[in-house]
Every structure is written in structure tokens, then in C-alpha cells.
Amino acid sequence: MKFLIRDKLAEAGLLETTYQRPVGRSGPGATGKVRATLGEVARDLGREVGTAFGDDVMAALRGCGYRPRTSAEGIVELENCPFHRLAREHQELVCGLNLCLVEGVIAGSGHPRAHAVLSPRPGRCCVVVHGR
């Protein structure tokens, strides 16, 4: 939410932002601290969505852009990844964010037995939900 406010202020011309690589750093910059922060933001967003949809996890997942379906085994599989294009280039980062987002949805929905796990398989999102 903090980034959204900053971006809106910059768009309105009320704030000037710059981006530069810190001295001595190279590469894409996705350090452990950055990943942890992104994970926290994704979890918080998921929790907000989950809370907004009450105890309807499936509706909350749809609200995040997923197409959830329940398998014959009772596992919720996500037939798509809303971030598929980005995941092609940054799979590890995006799959981790998907996991955090879905964990937040579950927490916000109040399903203590449900839990999200990474279970990559071609043709669907890398996250599944057990115990819904």
C-alpha cells in the first residue's frame, strides 16, 4: 500500500522519485531482504482480499485473478497463474509471491486447517491449497 501512495504522488507531480543501484551492487537486485519484503506485501494483500470475501476462499482466489478448481482429491488447484508472463522470466520469485499471496488469502478467510504449498506442474499455477 505504501508503494501505491508513493506512485500516486509521483504521478501527480507532488513527489520526485529516482532509482539507482547502490554502490557496489550488481545484478537484478532481488536480495533476500527484497524477497522477504515482497513476500510480506503479498501476504498482507492476500489477507485483505481474504477478509473482504469472508470465508469464501474460492471467491477470494478468483478476486486475485486465479481460476481455482477442486480436484477429485479435494485439493484446490489454480488452473492459471495471473503472473504467467512475468513467471516465465522470474519463476522462482513469482512462485514465491504466489505462495505468499495465497497464504494471505487463506489467513484472511479464516480457514485454520487450509494451507498452501508449492506443487509446480505444467499447465497450472505452482501453488495448491490442501485442507480447505
Give the Cα separation of 62 and 43 in Å (integer). 16
User: Residue type at 59?
Assistant: A
Would you say residue 120 lies in a domain?
Answer: yes
Would you say residue 19 lies in a domain?
Answer: no
The residue length of the chain stands at 132
How many structural domains does the chain have?
1
Contacts of 51 (CB under 8 A, 6+ apart): 108, 109
pLDDT at position 43 is: 96
pLDDT at position 3 is: 57
With contact defined as beta carbons under 8 Å apart, do 50 and 109 qualify? yes
Cα end-to-end span (Å), the chain: 28
Q: What is the value of pTM for the model shown?
A: 0.76
What is the domain extent for residue 68? 35-130
- Single out the residue of 120, 116, 66 nearest to residue 91, CA to CA: 120
User: Quick check: 91 pLDDT over 70?
Assistant: yes
**Could you give the strand order of the β-sheet that contains 115-118, starting from the edge strand earlier in sequence?**
68-70, 76-78, 127-130, 115-118
Distance of CA 103 to the CA centre of its chain: 9
Would you say residue 7 lies in a domain?
Answer: no
* Average pLDDT across the chain, whole number: 87
Would you say residue 12 lies in a domain?
Answer: no
Output 67 or 13, whichever has higher pLDDT.
67
